[in-house]
Amino acid sequence: MSGSPNRGAEVSGSPTLERETRAAREVTARAIRRLDVLQRLLLAATAALAVGGGAVVAWLLAGQVGFAFRPTWIAASVVIFVVTGAISLARVLRERRRRRRATATEHPPTMNRGDGDG
């Protein structure tokens, strides 16, 4: 395919390839920064919901059982945040395990006998 318009991009060290690589790195870095911001926003929203949920639980318990509001609010908020975090972590770890197994079945490791003596 000598008539290919991107022929110069295939040559190592070409200016076109270097520009494309630099542009790809910039786009990737920008996407990573945006995902980091989104992750922080989601974490903050989760914390806010945990605090709000803890307040509701503390309000219900304070009225019904007679527990003090503030310590119950703190404890309930922490429990709610920890439970949601544990569920999320379990999902992430389960997905990683599933991917690892899928990759292992697609590309099984080769047996290396070491010295080649068969």
Give pLDDT tens digits for 21-71.
Answer: 999 999 999 999 999 999 999 989 988 999 999 999 999 988 888 889 999
In a domain, 33, yes or no: yes
Q: What is the pLDDT of residue 44?
A: 92
Has residue 118 been placed in a domain? no
Task: Say if 41 falls within a structural domain.
Answer: yes
| Confidence tier at 4 by pLDDT (50, 70, 90) | very low
What is the total residue count of the chain? Answer: 118
Q: C-alpha angle 72/50/79, rounded to 5°?
A: 55
Domain limits for position 58: 13-106
Domain count, the chain: 1
The verdict on residue 73 lying in a domain is yes
In a domain, 67, yes or no: yes
Q: For the chain, where are the alpha helices, taking DSSP H only?
A: 15-64, 69-106
Query: Quick check: 56 and 48 in contact, CB under 8 A?
Result: no
Q: Is residue 7 part of a domain?
A: no
21, part of any domain? yes
